[in-house]
Amino acid sequence: MEIFRNQVVIVTGAASGFGRRISEKLATYGAKIIAADINFEQLQTVVAQIQKNGGQAEAQFLDVRDRDSIDSFIRQTTQKYGRLDYIFNNAGIAMGGETYAMTIADWQKIIDINLWSVIQGTVTAYEIMRAQGSGHIINTASMLGLIPGPLSTAYSVTKHGVYGLSRALRSEGKDWGVKVTAICPGFVKTNLLNTSQMFEMTYEDMMKILPYKVMDLDKAVDVILKGVKNNRDLIVFPFHARFSWWLSRYFRGLLNWGNETIISRYRQTKKTQSKVG
């Protein structure tokens, strides 16, 4: 995709999952990748491989819970390269399980990482891009930012916030030449779920109740970058995400019934396991 050639691109959460694959793919298109993550050792491996393959990339340690560090990182990158063309606010975590088992500290953690970091990254990048008269902000939300996500309630809350931020700011940014896109993927094969913090639930429990087929990561990133290239305001994929979103708008009761059925089956399974144990 020629549109990305020589573009200055920040990607957070770039050591794994979406962030890693987006960085790798954009590097093959000739973009200059500034990859950031708290897992610096793994990030350096990713960047080294990009460079070995002939791409332009550099690694930056970043704890997205530190909003001052996000602000400084974006400004220093812009100063170094003279501009900022794209920022993928992608860093995030997942939490799964019963909401009653979560503490306020758990809520604070996921809100800091999934929502506040995106707000900070967006606000700083928007200021820079507005001044330069161009730029594209891409924020990773989720299908659970479009529909209710029981057994992932806190995650769903943060992703609804990212979706709302992105959609509203897009209208404000248009006259300034700033584009904003929200990515709303369904279930994609990354390490997000199996590294999630679970509450009275295991990764295996989560996979058993998923009524969807998990999408291949490479295919997902191709969809994302094509949507960014075409300046889509909202990138919802795969089919199960689009279909669930459609249900939530036109047949809300049916979607609620489906969610309640999933929860009922999950709780019944846990009761059975408890009796057996």
> Hey, which residues are catalytic here?
155
Helices 239-250 and 252-276, axial angle in degrees (round to 10): 120
Residues 142 and 115: their CA atoms lie apart, in Å, by 12
* Neighbouring C-beta atoms of residue 76, cutoff 10 Å: 12
CB 36 within 8 A of CB 9: no
Handedness of CA 230, 236, 242, 247 (dihedral sign): negative
The number of CA neighbours under 13 Å toward the Cβ of 275 is: 6
Sign of the C-alpha dihedral computed for residues 18, 23, 28 and 31 taken in this order:
positive
Distance, CA of 58 to CA of 97 (rounded, Å)? 37
Cα distance between residue 123 and residue 3, in whole Å: 24
Cis peptide preceding 150, ω within 30 of 0: no
Rounded Cα distance between 212 and 241, Å, is 9
Q: What is the CA radius of gyration of the chain?
A: 19
Task: Give the tokens for residue 247.
Answer: 């249900």
Residues in Cβ contact with 254 at an 8 Å cutoff, skipping those fewer than 6 apart? 247
Q: How far apart are CA 268 and CA 276, in angstroms?
A: 12
Look at residue 194 and give its three-state secondary structure.
coil
